[in-house]
Amino acid sequence: MTYETIGNHILADFWGVDFDKLNDIEFLKKEMAAAAEASGAKIVAVQGKAFKPIGATVLILLSESHLSIHTYPEKGYAAVDGFTCGEKVAPEKAISHLMGVLDPEKAFMKKVVRGTGELEITPLNME
Amino acid sequence: MTYETIGNHILADFWGVDFDKLNDIEFLKKEMAAAAEASGAKIVAVQGKAFKPIGATVLILLSESHLSIHTYPEKGYAAVDGFTCGEKVAPEKAISHLMGVLDPEKAFMKKVVRGTGELEITPLNME
């Protein structure tokens, strides 16, 4: 059995996000899991850490790679990654879900196609 | 208390890696932890999953963001990410460590500076 190495990786920096959302580890775990499900990925494990005095990280191990978020509530900033291998899972849907619930004032994003040779920066089409 | 949002994120695709290394979850967990330490990061948690029939993922939650590897032993391929916030930790050192132990025939890499506005693709200088 072999798997396709092709993967789609979206790097998304969100700014202007509400402090309370970014500092609520349970909210972030729930919404990251919902984002994974929205993308069509299968969740293997969810790991979260609330840092003291502030900030949080959630890492989701997927059958199809990973989702991550690192938050800086005092800056209204979150660094989000959605990396999924194969063609059946769409990390755009995970990012869209998070944009919907985190409601950033600004989002800077790149999409990188991996697993095919040179890493290719490609246009990102969010619905 | 506030933290600097600036982060350095290296995306590295390794090809031509030995099958046995890429399919050995304990080896990968050990070397990913060693890579994190080499970068100067603090490990919060190490999570690993050996997939059936083949392949593995290791996610390391750091105080300074994360390291990840997803492997396709049958293709000799591994997708590695080293993402660290702040200026005191160098993801290049984590990637260098992994290149040393995985010994890929080819590596395709990009470095992205995050947490400062537009995501900036920057030159990657590996020692």
Q: ipTM score here?
A: 0.95
CB pairs under 8 A between A and B: 125
pLDDT of residue A81: 98
Of the candidates A47, A109, A119, the beta carbon closest to that of B45 is on: A47
Specify the pLDDT at position B3.
65
Please return the burial class of B111, using the count of CB atoms within 10 Å of its CB with bins 0-12, 13-18 and 19+.
Answer: buried
Which residues of B are known catalytic residues?
65, 70, 85
Q: Collect all residues of chain A within an 8 Å Cβ-Cβ radius of residue B121.
A: 110, 121
- As a whole number, mean pLDDT of residues A22-51 equals 98
Q: How confident is the model over B4-10, as a mean pLDDT?
A: 94
pLDDT for B56 equals 98
The beta-carbon neighbor of B114 closest among A13, A118, A121 is A13
The whole-number average pLDDT for the span B27-51 is: 98
DSSP calls for chain A: ------EEEEEEEEES--HHHHT-HHHHHHHHHHHHHHHT--EEEEEEEE-SSS-EEEEEEETTEEEEEEEEGGGTEEEEEEEEESSS--HHHHHHHHHHHH--SEEEEEEEEESSSS-EEE-----
pTM: 0.96
Chain A within 8 Å of B14 (Cβ-Cβ)? Answer: no
| Mean predicted confidence (pLDDT) in B48-75 | 97
In this structure, are residues B19 and B104 in contact, taking their beta carbons and an 8 Å threshold? no
Q: In terms of pLDDT, which residue wins out, B102 or B122?
A: B102
Q: Given a cut of 80, is residue A30 above it in pLDDT?
A: yes
Give the residue from B53, B55, B108, B105 showing the smallest Cα distance to B80: B108
pLDDT surpasses 60 at A86: yes
